[in-house]
Amino acid sequence: QQQVKQSPQSLIVQKGGISIINCAYENTAFDYFPWYQQFPGKGPALLIAIRPDVSEKKEGRFTISFNKSAKQFSLHIMDSQPGDSATYFCAAPPHGQNFVFGPGTRLSVLP
Amino acid sequence: NAGVTQTPKFRVLKTGQSMTLLCAQDMNHEYMYWYRQDPGMGLRLIHYSVGEGTTAKGEVPDGYNVSRLKKQNFLLGLESAAPSQTSVYFCASSYEGNGYTFGSGTRLTVV
């Protein structure tokens, strides 16, 4: 089973700070790299995604940075807010099929 | 627009009992998935379907069966529940296998 490694496992950030979560994959045949956000008691929801033809994508306070040579992509949350407190999952599809999800990062933003 | 609807939301089973989890989507998506989520292990794919009448095994299929008789519905069955199947189950659907829309989950406890 292809692995998707995610770090850190948990993250505590002060309000207004920058949250950074990293994801590393093994297979190079991916063409779509998403991040999902999950609040307690809810299902994951697609937050932002990037295709490897660009190195960065920004949507509001959320940015994905993609490093193809290092097989890594990261999520940056600027001006982090308490409402961003959730678990974040990256995902990647080995061999272009179903997604394998990372183990998740629990983010806590302190007021 | 309901998206992905899962029923039931909670269930307690005795070891050896059987049950069926229902997933319904109203987005005309071809792809549907069943995941289980356990603490520290992220989301693991149980079974998936790429279209009406088709099903395939995912990462952890043992002890589960699925059916996709109608495009909008994907059923997950447990024939003889075991305590190891205590988990939160999520159904998801997607248009072309990219961005997933998840349901709100079914919390299953097997005693």
Q: CB–CB of A94/A2 below 8 Å?
A: yes
Higher-pLDDT residue of A93, A101: A101
Is residue A94 pLDDT above 70, yes or no?
no
Distance CA B46, CA B90 (A): 10
DSSP assignment letter at A16:
T
* Three-state secondary structure call for residue B94: strand
User: Mean pLDDT over all residues of chain A?
Assistant: 90
Query: Which of A14-18, A100-104, B90-94 has the weakest average pLDDT?
Result: A100-104
- Provide the pLDDT confidence category of residue B22 given band limits of 50, 70 and 90: very high
* CB within 8 Å of chain B, chain A residues 61-90: 89
Tokens of residue A41, six digits: 């008691």
Put simply, the answer to whether B99 touches A43 (Cβ < 8 Å) is: no
Closest chain B C-alpha to A110 CA, distance in angstroms: 23
The model's pLDDT over A5-54, given as tens digits with 9 standing for 90+, comes to 999 999 999 999 999 999 998 876 677 889 999 999 999 999 999 988 88
| pLDDT tier, B96 (very low <50, low <70, confident <90, very high otherwise) | confident
Closest CA to B50 of B67, B33, B68, B31: B31
Q: What is the pLDDT of residue A100?
A: 86
- In angstroms, rounded to a whole number, what is the distance separating the alpha carbons of residues A78 and A76? 6
Does A46 sit within 8 Å of B58, measured CB to CB? no
- The DSSP output letter for B83 is G
Nearest to B42 among A41, A98, A102 (CB): A102
What is the tens place of the pLDDT at every residue in B26-63? Answer: 999 999 999 999 987 889 999 999 999 999 999 899 99
Distance from CA of B5 to the nearest CA of A (A): 11
Would you state the pLDDT for residue A28?
A: 62
The burial of A32, by beta-carbon neighbours within 10 Å (0-12 exposed, 13-18 middle, 19 or more buried), is given as middle
Query: By the 8 A CB rule, do B46 and B36 touch?
Result: yes
- DSSP annotation of B10: E
A103/B105 touch (CB, cutoff 8 Å), yes or no: no
According to DSSP, the β-strands at A19-25 and A72-77 are antiparallel
